[in-house]
Amino acid sequence: MELLYEAATVHREHHDPNTVQVSTLLSIKTGGCPEDCGYCPQAARYHTDIEGNDLMTVQQVKAQALRAKASGSSRVCMGAAWRNVKDGPEFDQVLEMVRTINKLDMEVCCTLGMLTENQAKRLAEAGLYAYNHNLDTSEDYYKDVISTRAFQDRLDTIDNVRKSNVTVCSGGIIGMGEKLEDRAGMLVALASLNPQPESVPINALVAVEGTPMEDMEPVSIWEMVRMVATTRIVMPETQVRLSAGRTEMSREGQAMCFFAGANSIFAGDKLLTTPNPDVNEDMEMFELLGLNPQKPFIKISQPKTVEAEDSQLVPLGEKPKWTRPNHTIERNEVAKEKSKLVSKE
């Protein structure tokens, strides 16, 4: 309860607690990925029921974006099952998709795998608002999840994005067999980026049959709430996105995540290839909780720039320098003031 209170307090200092960004995730190219991410059903080497498709046309993407906008989304994130971006006709087509969605007065995000500094600049010139490239887990546990790409490769891609004017979206997944220290390690890595990511998706593993992680036990809602709350505290100005795994969460559980600092969700009945709550269900939940969808291009706060001399991050195992406010003393002071007023009367 103390963690929830601390996270909610930090959240309200930096954000409107009743505003949540709604984003739509669209798989513009599905399946056939050469990588071996243990959680991903789109890897070509795994035998899953995922139906692959070639790169969508610009008109198909525009139609999907218009539907997303009509349902309340302010951002469209396009995902392609590529290991890395390759210059050529397909990348040119993606650039045209970015230009098209940008003209609809919507934020455009892409997750296309690794990309070079020049490719990041070309995406920025086309109007890309954000680039998603998740760290997935801690550097120590990373090799147990993926062998076809190094942890440093992910950091290098984020660095290339930062050299353009595109914002960074980077988070991870819990429930892949990692230890609590790995979850903390992932947050330390994200919070140590300079500046911190503008958006951090927190995903619960959706175990898919045919992948190496098909038998993983689902994470509890309490683990998700704790992860959201901790993320909010260490990255106070970042938008924390409640991402994969929401189909297993009750409205009460999601409400606790919003209270703890989550202020962004993915809407639509599918997240690339895994199930997601229907957008109408989300809008009903928003109405019930008094939440309002965030408008596009609204910067609620600026990402924190980490300075070595005043960083609040501390090595694992060491006690932080800050101390929790003594609310008992504050309540006692209030009681004394009330007592004085009663005496005067």
Closest CA to 104 of 69, 128, 149: 69
H or E, element range at 212: none
pLDDT at 329: 45
Which H or E element spans position 121? helix 117-126
pLDDT of residue 54: 80
257 is catalytic: no
DSSP assignment of 55-90, as one string? PPPHHHHHHHHHHHHHTT-SEEEEEE--SB--TTHH
- Per annotation, catalytic residue among 75, 77, 149, 226: 77
CA dihedral sign, ordered 118, 123, 126, 128:
negative
- pLDDT at residue 165 greater than cutoff 60: yes
Which residue in 33, 75, 162, 246 is the catalytic one? 33
| 40 in catalytic set | yes
Task: For residue 90, give the amino acid letter.
Answer: E
Distance (Å, rounded) from C-alpha 160 to C-alpha 84?
13
Percent of the chain with pLDDT over 70: 77
Annotated catalytic residue within 37, 110, 183, 226: 37
Selecting among 40, 75, 149, 162, the annotated active-site residue is 40
Is 110 a known active-site residue? no
For residue 241, indicate whether it is catalytic: yes
**CA quadruple 144, 145, 146, 150: dihedral, nearest 10:** -70
Mean pLDDT of the chain: 82
Average pLDDT over residues 121-150: 91
Q: Is 169 a catalytic residue?
A: yes
Predicted confidence band of residue 297 (pLDDT cuts 50, 70, 90): confident
Of the residues 162, 241, 246, 257, only one is catalytic, namely 241
Angle in degrees, 0-180, between the axes of helices 180-191 and 221-234, rounded to the nearest 10: 30
Catalytic residue among 109, 110, 162, 226: 109
In tens, the pLDDT along 20-58 reads 999 888 888 876 676 767 666 666 566 566 666 788 899
Among the listed residues 162, 169, 232, 257, the single catalytic one is 169
Report the percentage of the chain scoring pLDDT > 90: 50
Domains of the chain as residue ranges with CATH: 2-318 (3.20.20.70)
What is the pLDDT averaged over residues 300-327?
45
Determine the average pLDDT of the residues in 308-328. 43
